[in-house]
Structure 1
Amino acid sequence: MPEIQESCTQYRTSSPADQQVARFRGSLDWILAHPKWEDALVCSLLMLGFKGKRQGIKQHSALRSLPLEQKQELVRHALAQGLPIPSFAEAKRLAQLWGVTSYRARSDFGRPSQCEWETLSQRLLIRISARYELYKSAQSELFAAYHGLAVAGAVESCSAPSQREDACQEARLALLEAIDHIDPSQNFEAYARRWIKRRVLNFVMTERLPVKAPINVISKSFRGVAGANPLLLKAIREGTLQLDQPDCPEISSDPNLTSEPANSPQRTAMQVEELACLRQALSQLTEKQREVISCRFGLGEHGESLSLSQVADRVGISRQQIFQREKRALQSLKTALVGLQRERQFQVPAASGY
């Protein structure tokens, strides 16, 4: 594929676009790593609905692991709400990172006054907005240069034609994530290839098996690693078992014990209750999240499921933002419907002999 190789070679060495993205990310990470600002940042994190501290991940690591789009939104929100006043040396360093040249040193090395800090915060917000535009321009430039690499990675790792379009979308999202983690001192092409391959393979594995399990567990079973889950190994061989299905005694094959009719009053009442729970869960989403979920799953007036690209074109934002918005919405729905899920899992059929 000569066109792909030619388009990638021009960025084998460090470029202004590489440095622009890395500089933007580094300046944001410096703010997110400040220990005195962690509480204020967590407050903004909760208000924006971003993913924070969770099992196995500490708060400062969760802040640093956010997507670059969310990092800049979080920092801007925290600055607008008001961060605690830092020391003068820290304020000076912050001004240098964002190119606020009008901020001058003082002889007493104390803390800036409230007025000085508010003025600096306003200038920082302006600089962050300007740097964000430069970052988006650099991201678009790198994405155009390496887009062929994403398509080639998707074709290489996904052999099913029916999954090819979705695999290409996953590869493009992986390329955007790799760009956000770019290091000008490293070979970006090799790094992006690994990132794309891992994400596409994860997508293929989750789509191939009717098994609900963490992707790393599925990957170990595919590779035949010792100690893999025996139920998962059976599911891989037969393609019929779900790990989240509760163990239950086999139902008698007695013909006199018939299952509950589909139109029975009990089943109808259950469906009404489930529909009410789903509507309540959807009402708890933000308006933007409901819009994405409606488009992606055909819940709108047209009843047509749209791809990430189609939703991005309709809403007017990037595919990455649509993906992140959908991911947060599905996580919220999963949390809201956990009670209903447990109730359905442990329901005993009426034909169980009782």
Structure 2
Amino acid sequence: MRDVRTDRRVFLRGVGAVAAGMAATALTGCGTGTSRSVDGGSGKNSKTLVVRNSGGTYGDANQKAVYDPFTKETGIQVKVVNIEYAQMLAQIKQGRPQFDVIDDSMADFVLFKQAGATETLDFDRLKNFKNAGIAKSLVTSNAVGKNYWASVMAYRTDAFGGKKPSSWADFWDTKAFPGSRALQALDADLPELEFALLADGVDPDKLYPLDVDRAFRSLDAIKGDVKKFWDTGALPGVLLGRKEVVASSVWHGRLDALIKGGAPLAYQWNGARRQSNALGIPKGAANLDAAYKLVDFSLRPEVQAHYAELYPMAPTVPAAYKKLSSTTAANLASSPAHLESGFDLDVEWWIKHQDAVSKRWQEWTHA
């Protein structure tokens, strides 16, 4: 899921670093900025809408499932830019955003709101939102959740004599489930303190506010068995495939191709840490009406289902599951079973505490 987490690297550097980077960011984006109005007329083809997303295979899926059908229905052309938070904020602060819709992590939308950089959404203009049933945690004044991703456990199915680890407590239990482990590095995403707390017996409903001291004590117990702290999304699959480790945290979806190819690997969804991408509109968007139309279109159950069939990020609209194949539905973070067994990362807690936790994590990993 590297395509989405490209944005997270900016978030992980902290709000201060983002502000510093903003001052040095040029106003020109990645080749957009042109032809905001195509012909100035009143016909279907009178507007070009510019959408920011993180590109890669994530962007390809959006093009096929969202943008192309939207253009076919409305006549509104969609251009895409792939720029990071600091450059987006710089353009907005200058009053010249070269994009009309932002597709980004919910964490960045919290920062956008703090900076006063995004529109307060008029939900009356989002007709598909009214009965969508999107979780309250994915709806803020400036953003609406578009899809989920998750960090989960992965393991070799041939490693434990037929036994299957069923929890993070099992991941931590190297006597019952012997072998080396891998966990996520700070350079990849937020430290996995939640998994350490779940392994130590904390109820998923009582994770936040995180007991940081308890989490690091739990991490101490497994540190000697962690062979690698991985910093790229592809690395867990490499480590597991080479039998360098028998279990690892992983961004869900990263092992799909290996599993389909017959590799003895599996996901364990119990205790999955969910995060989400959302849609919002920057202050000063040139095509406000078209922006609302695209956000609304993205919340249709059939559009969400089409996207999930192309890319392993889960719908935020429950009705999308009625339109998904059972095979696809069983492998998504927002399926009913996985919603019950996992938890949503508390974005605001992490924004408040991420600098201190990151410093402590660095000290712990180098101790």
Q: Same fold (TM over 0.5)?
A: no
- TM-score between both structures, scaled by the size of structure 1: 0.21
User: Which of structures 1 and 2 has the bigger CA Rg?
Assistant: 1
Q: Higher relative contact order at CA 8 Å, sep ≥6: structure 1 or structure 2?
A: 2
Larger helix percent: 1
Structure number with higher strand proportion: 2
Name the TM-score, length of structure 2 as normaliser: 0.20
